Amino acid sequence: MKQDIKVSVDAVVFGYSPEEGIQVLLIKRKYEPFQKSWALPGGLVLNEESLEEAVRRELQEEAGIDLNYLEQLYSFGQPGRDPRNRVISIAHFGLVRPGDYQLSAQTDAEDVAWFNIKRIPRLAFDHKHIIDSAIKRLRGKIVYEPIGFELLDKEFPFSDLEKLYQVLLDNDLDRRNFKKRIMALGFLEEVNKTLQRKAGRPAKLYRFNKKKYFELKERGYHSDLFYS
Amino acid sequence: MKQDIKVSVDAVVFGYSPEEGIQVLLIKRKYEPFQKSWALPGGLVLNEESLEEAVRRELQEEAGIDLNYLEQLYSFGQPGRDPRNRVISIAHFGLVRPGDYQLSAQTDAEDVAWFNIKRIPRLAFDHKHIIDSAIKRLRGKIVYEPIGFELLDKEFPFSDLEKLYQVLLDNDLDRRNFKKRIMALGFLEEVNKTLQRKAGRPAKLYRFNKKKYFELKERGYHSDLFYS
DNA sequence: CCTATTTGCGTACAAATAACACAAAAATCG
DNA sequence: CGATTTTTGTGTTATTTGTACGCAAATAGG
């Protein structure tokens, strides 16, 4: 019998701010099945586009958002995960900066929204499961690769990074040791600016030097974890 | 226009022995395209089977082999990777023990063979690229998850494990420190047997206690790397 | 029985990590 | 305006962990 399987992509897009915590982008479905349910952005792959192109296109169409970081997460292909057809979904993992993050409000607010990862509503299909995988990936990856910076502004106070790790790994990390550790990695550089958001001493701003990171990585430096 | 994409699975299966090193299972293709080229075992997913079922079925059909460990690797979906149709391949990563490992000779020897990962022939499609990803995964994963044991006999002398890590990470690890480290993880247990293969003092046999490993993992013990 | 080979075990030293204290610069509040 | 609170910045020391070794035990082979 001829193969009758459809191929789609889904995206778990994370955003972050110190006030709101870690959030994930969801859309409200317009059509059956799961009409009006919250779901991950995504859709069928077109014949001539790559998987990554499909993801970026769908995110533009459904949420008007541009990703700062994108990688493949996992492919979900269990028969029956879509009640109508056999659909294989290649799930992706994306990150946006706080700047782009706000764009969601520009599109129809009923249809697109950010949800804190601790308060995710009931979702269509197996999307809850997919999000769980993505959160696991985020938690796992942030300790040995510098993807945390992709969730922050290009220039950020150190405390933002610190809080991100706190929220994600929920362990009390020592502020001072954490900073020493990150700085020792050698790819964070100080910008000659300060920022003040509340009371307290103004914070210096830092910037992730991606070029320097790749240089160090080339030289076989063993990145190994930021914090356990 | 209607979506016209096929879905297949491929498997990168690794085997290991101290004498042969790390090997990967390849088959010689019978049909076009790439007729008579070496390629990864795999094929189209059937309508009612899961991805993992498809992998195990194909491996049975093409190589008569049973996997000891199987996980998804990555999905390759670039248009043009198959010269005829658009085919998305969900690549998998498998491990077999030395015992099962020998089975390949039972099937048609012209069509199935093990190749040392340092001496891989020219391959069909983008299969070389897929193998590279799999090797990277193996190297990366072996330092923080106990998958190395899935490549050894259930009871093995310590030196086998040691050599596996040597070959894979090609650094000179200190025999004595390596053993201390592994034993400190707490899930390797001594069996009351010895084995002698060449000259020298007979080796005690060890066994990976998977149950104990999961117990320790539950208790939030931070597995973190065997050797860097 | 002497040598080469392989496995087993322990100990001293170096390096990385964790615990902890206090100073500086601002807002807030009386 | 001064005292208090809040936030950021930097250092020092104890503890834990990792690394570099030396040497003994048990076998095969000649």
ipTM of the complex: 0.91
Q: What would the mean pLDDT of B123-143 be, rounded to a whole number? A: 96
Name the band, by pLDDT with cuts 50, 70 and 90, for residue B16: very high
Fold classification of B6-141 is Nucleoside Triphosphate Pyrophosphohydrolase (3.90.79)
Q: What is the pLDDT of residues B163-186, one digit of tens each?
A: 999 999 977 899 999 999 999 999
A47 vs B78: CB contact, 8 Å cut-off? no
B3 vs A5: CB contact, 8 Å cut-off? no
Q: Is the pLDDT of residue B225 over 60?
A: no
Question: Which are the contacts of A115, defined by CB distance < 8 A and separation ≥ 6?
Answer: A23, A24, A26, A38, A121
Tell me which of 1.10.238.10, 1.10.10.10, 3.40.1160.10, 1.10.1060.10 is the CATH number of domain A148-218. 1.10.10.10
CB-based contact A17:A98 (threshold 8 Å): yes
B79 vs A45: CB contact, 8 Å cut-off? no
Work out the end-to-end distance of chain B between its first and last CA atoms, rounded to an integer number of angstroms: 51
Q: What is the pLDDT of residues B23-69, one digit of tens each?
A: 999 999 988 899 999 999 999 999 999 999 999 999 999 998 999 99
Q: Judge if the beta carbon of B198 is closer than 7 A to nucleic acid strand D.
A: yes
Q: Judge if the beta carbon of B176 is closer than 7 A to nucleic acid strand D.
A: yes
Q: Is the pLDDT of residue A105 over 60?
A: no
Name the closest nucleotide to B177, judged by C1' and CA: D19
Q: Judge if the beta carbon of B203 is closer than 7 A to nucleic acid strand C.
A: yes
Conformation bin of residue B188: beta by default, left when phi > 0, alpha when psi is -120 to 50: beta
Cβ within 7 Å of strand C: which of B 161-200? 175-177, 179-180, 198-200
CB-based contact B25:B104 (threshold 8 Å): yes
How far B117 CA sits from the closest chain A CA (Å)? 21
The whole-angstrom separation of Cα A195 and Cα A201 is 9
| Nearest to B123, CA basis, from B30, B36, B14, B62 | B36
What does the domain layout of chain A look like in residue ranges? 6-141, 148-218
A51 vs B75: CB contact, 8 Å cut-off? yes
CB-based contact A153:A161 (threshold 8 Å): no
Q: Return the number of other C-beta atoms located less than 10 Å from residue A197's C-beta.
A: 12
Q: Helix, strand or coil for residue A115?
A: strand
Amino acid (1-letter code) at residue B64: G
Q: What is the pTM of this model?
A: 0.93
| Nearest to A86, CA basis, from A5, A3, A2 | A5
CB-based contact A201:A188 (threshold 8 Å): no
Ranges A52-56, A168-172, B137-141: which has the least confidence: A168-172
Token couple for A75: 């492919």
